[in-house]
Every structure is written in structure tokens, then in C-alpha cells.
Structure 1
């Protein structure tokens, strides 16, 4: 049975991706939508199970590992101020607008603050794939997006911990949590500089097959485990693993070996699993909630992060593109929503609806990125023509 599901998912995502490209959209959009089509929401051919979930988790980890491999560390460092402004704007605006929206539905103070924090989360994995497709991942805008997403994740997790310690019956120790975040980044920096290059060099001398690929995967999943152990998203760990390896002479070989494995097999499961989580059951009574909070989720990130990008010196169009790239909430918000439900900081009656909001933000992000950025070559030609006028 699982063999048939693998065939169906791989075939459906590639065909849907091609159709999406032919319609002038990133392939990511088609891959997500086909998950809704073949999943429980419509046709019911595929239901999420443990194997699909595992492949999906591996897929998103490898996707961010590739993003790290393609990241220029100097460009990332040069744009750290812009990334901070983008992340800050992308946190403040959703908190404020989310709080206002929650008050409309008579949520309590604690619930209103939590939903604002939930909408502040950003998952850039979808944006990464879209930027790779249209040629903007290695640009200044792409580096700013990646940096902002990392900062956003760390800041929001800390704010969520504060909310849990204040409003919920929680044993969360804020000092310990912040110490863990500092320890994570300190250990990652040290390991990236001293341990990773030596480890891969040692492995490359082994007389067995695919030592470079195996070494890279060991580093990536070790970083992911360490990140999750210290309360940071695993995708942040694999991203920094990729950045670490990108500073070595093995960068190109690693990228050439990981990309077929990731995009050829595991990543399609990640995109499909997003659609598999969609359900239209009992949504009639809460369609207004889904519409209002989807609008808040999109507008708050678009304006907040976009304004932060504008303040840091980006053009209006690039700022709008960066704002669009921060809209997707993805798996980070899904995790936070579950935390809120378990700690009673989020009303259980609205859990399915907020999941729909998170999924809708993920679906709208690829076409918005394509709209504001366009293909890299097209923008370069446009800028050249404008300069000659």
C-alpha cells in the first residue's frame, strides 16, 4: 500500500508542479494544491500516516539544508540589520492586528495575546523553494528573508514562553529557555568553525561509497536534533548546517548530491502533507473567522515585514516581495497552535479554523512572491531598460 502512495504522491506533485509552471506560477503552488485534491478534503486517495509524516519532516529539513548550502555568509552578515527590521516589523504588526481580531470574537486577554503571537510566526521553507525556482534565493532580498525568518523564529518562541509562564499553568522557566537559545547559537558557531570542516574532511578519506553525502546528512540531522533538543525548530538547525558546509571546499559536491535526493523524493512529501491537513468538515459556521484571520495574517506580515524592509533601504517592489515572503506560517505556526491548545491558551472550538488560516497563508505565498519578484532574469532586464530611459 505504501508503495502505491509513494507513486501517487511523486507523480501527482510533479505533474501538478508542471501545470503550475505552465500557468505562470511557481511549481510549489501546484504541489500544495494537489495535496488538497488527493487528500481527505476532496478525493480521499491519500491520508496522512506515520510514513508520509516522517518523509515530510525529512523533506523540510533537507529543503532548509539546501537553502543553507546556497547561502552566501557574507551577504547574510551584510544584511543582518535589514533582517532584524524585517523580523521586528513582522512580529509587531501580527501581534497588534491579531489581538484586535481576537477581541472581535470576544477571546480572553490571554487568548488574544496568544493568537497574536501565533500569527507572528514565520516559516520560510515554502518561500525558499519559490525563491530557488525564480532565481532570487542568493540575492540580497533572499538573504534578508532567510535571516529575518531565523530571528523571527527565535523571538516568537521566547515570547510564547513568556506567555505560557504568565497565563498558563506552565513550568516554563524563561531564564532557562533564553539560556538554551544562547547555548544553541554558541555551540552552532563553534561546531561550524572547528568541527564540521574536520569531520567532513575525515569522512571524505574513507574508501566507501558516498562519504561526502553521508557526512553532510550526519551533520544536518545532528544540528536538527540539537536545535529541537534546545527548543529551536529543527529547520533552523539544518539551515545552519548547510551554511557551515557552504564555507568548505565540499560545498558544490554536497549540493549536487543532496538536491536530487531532496527534490527527487523527500520534498514532494512535505508539500503534499500540507494539503493533506486540509479539512472542510464543520467549516460552515466559522467561515467568517477563517476569512478575517487569513486577511489579518496576510496583511500584517506583508505590511509589517515589508515596512521593515523599506526602512532598511530596499526598493518598494523588493520590500513588497520580502513582505510577501514572510507571510507563510507553515509548520512553525502549526507547532505553536498545538502548544496553545494543550496549554488552554487557544480555544479548542477554533483549532481547525486556525489550522486552515495557517494553510491558506502557505498557499498564497508562492504566487505573491512570483508577482512581486518575478523571474530574476526578467527583473534584471526590466531594471536595465528603466536605467536606459
Structure 2
């Protein structure tokens, strides 16, 4: 390791971030991810200049992003996310992609390469950031949580597919064929996952769950590594493999050890949210080009423009195509705000655009900064709408949402 001090510094920031979130939360709750990114910016090259990159730091950051997408894939409940809700979420994303591409073409003067990057970034949803917030508030279980899960899953999966097709460097036909081959292999893995596991499988999971063997955790990590490797072999973005691995893990665990699946997930989440995911967010802050954002007026002007476009491109179709049972009250606009919340895929897509020299540094910084603001503000506004809607409904009037203690 070239810079062991950076690793220690990043982990110190990972410890400091929830402490700051807890301290500030007595007056105004702020998602811990905002502190993680902000602390990364502070220790990064544009402020204090304490943090430095090396191969280990980059590898851990990439693994953190994969773990974040993996956990989002795991949260998808196939029994609930289907039928009309899934169709509506799919159509909403398709409308978002068409609108995002059209607006991006107008903004960039018909620059197709840049428009594909910006347009795809505008259609993403930070499901991995939204679901923990909903779970902590007690609103994940219930109809509203299911709808947010469906729209968020498509908002996560759709841009990943678009990245695989549009940013692979292949022709559309070749990219489609490779994606179809990956889907075929994944379908075979799903068929294997839903088959009954042999009795010894459940026994060894139960027998090692509280020992150093930890068979279940190691098996889950094997699934993640295998799907990441498979996507790499096919020349696809590894985020596609991570998302597929999360879905496969839920199928395997719920089919084999339904009574222990929650405890196993808790251990995976502890490893993800306790180490890898904050590592990714802090490195995102370190990489954030603050100088480009503050250099001249255009990037700063683009920041609120992109923030508004997240709402128009992603939120408006979600609002209009929301299921009919969300038609009244505050849940429909709250769904639009949650669907418009984005960050991880915006970072990934922006990184691709910068690496390919399609995006300018200022445009990339404005996109990421707008995504950061969306994580900070949109869930806050959504919970205020839900709380106000519950109050307006009056006592004894049930809400589609599961009630809990809002984090705001």
C-alpha cells in the first residue's frame, strides 16, 4: 500500500460521519452519506489535501459501490414487486429516459455522446440510499414502501442496462447480444436459486452461523464475486453483476433458510454499511472536483438546473404513472421525490463520461453535486409531505404507508 495514512484517514472519517449525523440529528436529521461525502471533500486535494489515491484505495471504493448495488438488489421483493406496479414503474423509467435524452440533446447542442451520459444520469434512483431511510422510518413494509421499491428498482436497473448497452464500446447489436447472453446465464442462475436446497445446506448454515465458519456469509460473498466476474467476462459494467447477485442471494436464502435470512442479511449489511459503502462515499468526496465546480459561473448555474431536471425527468413520470391507489393524499408526490433521489449511479455514469472525455470537469462536478443535494433534500421533503398527509387524514384514517418514526 502506497498511502496507508489515507486508509486510516478514510476510516476515521467513516467513524466521524455517524457521530456528526447523530449530533446534528437532534435538530435536523441529515443522511449520513452527506457527511461521508463532505468529509471526503474536506480531506481531498481541493481543501486539505491529506488523502491520496493508490490501488488499494481504488479497489476498496469499487467494492463499496458494488456492495451498495448488491444490497439494493437484495431488497427487491419479487412477490410484491410485480403486475401493474412493475409495469407502471417500467413505463415511468422509459418515459424518463426519452425525456432525459431529449432534454440533454437540447442542452448540449445535439452532442449525442454527452447527451447519452447526462440523459442516463438523469433517470437514476438511489435505491440503495432510499431503502435504508424507509426501513429506519418503518415505512418500507406496506403498500407505499412496495411502490417505492418497484420504481426505485427500475430506476436502478434501467440505467445499469443503458450503461451496458450504450457505454460498452460495442455496436448496439453486439452489445444487445452480449447482454442477452448474460441475461440467459443469469436466468439459469435464478432457476438454480429457486430450486429446493439439499438438507445439508440449511444444516451447515445453522451450524456455522454463530461460529468462525460463517458459511452463509462466505456463500453470499461467493455469489457476489461470481456475478461480478461473470459481468467482467461478458464485458459489461460490474454494477449489473452486483445487482443480479443481490437478487439471487434473496432467492437462495429465503428458499433455503427463511428463518435465518434476516440475521444473515444483518451481517452482510454490517460489513457493507460498516466498512465498504462509507469507504465508497468518502472516496467519492475525495474525487469530487470542487475547484471545477467553483471555477467560473457555469457549473454553479448547472447545479440547480440538474437538480430541477432530476425532478422533471425522473419525478414527473413517477408521479403521473404511480399506481391508482396512490392517487390521493401526499404519497404520490412523495413517491416522485424518492424516485428523483439519486447519487451512486450518477457518480458511476459521470466517472465514465469524464474518463471518456465526453463530459467536462465542471459539468461532471455539477451533476454529482446536484445528486448530493437530492439525497439531502428530496427524502426530507417526502417525509414532510407524508407526515402532513397523515395529519390531514386525521386519527383513525389508515394510510397506505406503514407508520413509524420518521428520521426527519
Query: TM-score with structure 2 length normalisation?
Result: 0.76
Residues 318, 339 of structure 2: 8 Å contact kept: yes
**Which of 241, 247, 250 is the matching residue for 1:243?**
250
**Which of 267, 273, 283 is the matching residue for 2:277?**
267
Post-superposition Cα deviations, 1:183-236, rounded to whole Å, max 9, x if no partner, equal 254134213213878795375267862222222222233234334544252431
Q: Gaps (5+ residues) in structure 2?
A: 399-408
Q: Which moved more, 1:359-368 or 1:66-75?
A: 66-75
Matched, 1:257 2:267: yes
Q: Gaps (5+ residues) in structure 1?
A: none
Post-superposition Cα deviations, 1:218-268, rounded to whole Å, max 9, x if no partner, equal 223323433454425243123213422234423122123223222222222
User: 2:170 and 2:179 mapped to 1: Cα distance?
Assistant: 19
Residues 196, 219 of structure 1: 8 Å contact kept: no
User: Which residue number in structure 1 is paired with residue 288 of structure 2?
Assistant: 278
- The 5 Å alignment of 1:1-389 reads 1-2=5-6, 4-22=8-26, 23-77=28-82, 79-103=85-109, 107-109=110-112, 111-156=114-159, 159=162, 173-194=174-195, 200-201=201-202, 203-204=204-205, 209-230=213-234, 231=236, 233=239, 234-244=241-251, 245-247=253-255, 248-249=257-258, 250-283=260-293, 284-285=295-296, 286-287=298-299, 288-309=301-322, 313-315=326-328, 317-340=330-353, 346-347=358-359, 350-373=360-383, 383=393, 385=395, 387=397
Structure 1 291/366 Cα, relative in aligned 2: closer, same or farther at 3 Å?
closer
Structure 1 123/173 Cα, relative in aligned 2: closer, same or farther at 3 Å?
farther
Residues 154, 181 of structure 1: 8 Å contact kept: no
Q: Which moved more, 1:91-100 or 1:191-200?
A: 191-200
User: 1:188 and 1:42 mapped to 2: Cα distance?
Assistant: 47
Residues 64, 236 of structure 1: 8 Å contact kept: yes
Structure 1 146/8 Cα, relative in aligned 2: closer, same or farther at 3 Å?
same
User: 2:394 and 2:284 mapped to 1: Cα distance?
Assistant: 39
SS at match of 1:74: coil
Q: Which moved more, 1:316-325 or 1:304-313?
A: 304-313
User: 2:53 and 2:200 mapped to 1: Cα distance?
Assistant: 37
Residues 9, 269 of structure 1: 8 Å contact kept: no
Structure 1 341/66 Cα, relative in aligned 2: closer, same or farther at 3 Å?
closer
Structure 1 262/123 Cα, relative in aligned 2: closer, same or farther at 3 Å?
same
User: 1:321 and 1:210 mapped to 2: Cα distance?
Assistant: 40
Residues 292, 365 of structure 2: 8 Å contact kept: no
Give how far 1:298 is off.
3.9
User: 1:382 and 1:17 mapped to 2: Cα distance?
Assistant: 30
Q: CA RMSD in A?
A: 3.7
SS at match of 1:75: coil
- Count of paired positions: 380
Give how far 1:302 is off.
2.0
Structure 1 178/170 Cα, relative in aligned 2: closer, same or farther at 3 Å?
closer
User: 1:301 and 1:152 mapped to 2: Cα distance?
Assistant: 8
SS at match of 2:195: helix
Residues 38, 44 of structure 1: 8 Å contact kept: yes
SS at match of 1:326: helix
